[in-house]
Amino acid sequence: MSTVPFNPLFRLSSQPWSALDGLGPVAAEALARILSGEPAERVLDRTLRAHRELSREGRQALKEAVFNVGLWRRRLAFLLGSEEVSPRALLFALLHGLGGVPAADAASWAGLEAPVPLRTGEPPSLALRASLPDWLADHLSRELGPEAEDFCAHLNVPGPITLRVNPARMSREALAARLASEGVATRPGSWSPLALQVEGPRPNLYGLASLREGLFEVQDEGSQLLGLLVEARPGETVLDLCAGAGGKTLQLGAAMADSGRLLAYDPDPERLDRLQQRASRAGLTRVHVLRTPPAPGLGADRVLADVPCSELGSLRRGPDLRFRLTPDVLSRFIPTQRDILAQAADAVRPGGRVVYATCTVNRAENQDVVADFLRARPDFRLVPPGSGWLPAACVQDGFLFVTPHRHGTDGFFAAVLERANAAG
């Protein structure tokens, strides 16, 4: 890991801010809605649809302004010396205080009559430096100790666009060549043998023939590692117990070479509605969507339980996610997580494997849930994750643990649990 402190502000100085000229009122209206609690992605989408006349530079500048004010709101309020400030003042503080735009230009582009005074110097707390709620900064400091500052800095830049090759259709190298022919430059991922990271400007992936042909899916590299830990094999019975939209289900199906039984269930059945369509596109015919929970005694060879959680590991995916959380999120999902892990244990055969996973950084949802489970189920044991293929840098205390600041992935935790054979 680099010893040079990561500066999440670096990208702000390279944005096309001059394209905001004349857009101050549009930005201020969108920001007011976000600051009042509306989801940033939805607000921006509606704003851009209402202003289709904008140039490409104008759309980019407006997006960066809206997202970054939403993200940096606490640090911007510190610069302004008050929590009660207008969206236009916050935009000025972003442009001038963090983005390095000259004060007169920043005021004009933000729709102010004149510049406003800003504090100088580094904010005194992690919460203000990284623009986090106090309770969340305190929690991450407890969880990560001296690494908390670096972790939080990495939450303040967008995550990479990562693709997972469909190995049932082609190799990673062949996919990279195909994408290059479609104008998309990529490089291999650092941890998953299935991963490609998109380089350069964000492409319209959903317009690519290669996606329509099922050659790849968009999937964070850390998420890919969860699927790989299952080590699904052709001919087995595999259960994805919290399948969501089905990205990891498709990954498991490819690993099984479209053979055996692949069962997908999710507590929210609507999330599975498109899975069969996606499976067909990926060339998978053995995916069975379950509309009710699997019965105990299923006898699955392997079960993946990527459980609902506080999602602190993916906060960089949305500029306002951190401000829409409340402290109770740290404990809200624990009863559900325990129930799902117990359900997974009942579904796996003797000698089989359960992978328990979250996308959070919270011992109470991760190590503590696993420890409680192992005390209640002595027929299970914790085994090293990914023996023989998972890099040691992705393992901590016998668990998979990857983070933005260490690995460039979202934050993920996983425990690999194996059930004793009936005779043992």
Pair of tokens at residue 402: 């990857």
Give backbone dihedrals phi and psi of 419, rounded to 5 degrees, phi first: -90, 140
On whether the CB atoms of residues 347 and 290 are closer than 8 A, the answer is: no
Instruction: Report the alpha-carbon distance of residue 351 to residue 302 in Å, rounded.
Output: 9
Pair of tokens at residue 279: 């499976």
Instruction: Report the alpha-carbon distance of residue 189 to residue 70 in Å, rounded.
Output: 30
Q: Helix, strand, coil shares of the chain as percentages rounded to 5?
A: 45, 15, 40
Pair of tokens at residue 277: 């369509």
Tell me the three-class secondary structure of 33-50, residue by residue.
HHHCCCCHHHHHHHHHHH
Instruction: Report the alpha-carbon distance of residue 97 to residue 237 in Å, rounded.
Output: 56
What is the maximum span of the chain, computed from C-alpha positions, in angstroms? 80
Annotated catalytic residue, options 152, 242, 309, 359: 359
Q: Which residues contact 25 (CB under 8 A, 6 or more apart)?
A: 111
Number of residues written out for the chain: 424
Pair of tokens at residue 224: 């890919």
Q: Which of 14, 15, 11 is nearest to 27 (CA)?
A: 15
Task: Spell 306-341 as b/e; 16+ CB within 10 A means b.
Answer: bbbbbbbbbbbebbbbbbebeeebbeebbeebbebb
Active site residue 394: no
Q: Which of 300, 295, 322, 298 is nearest to 311 (CA)?
A: 322
Catalytic residues: 359
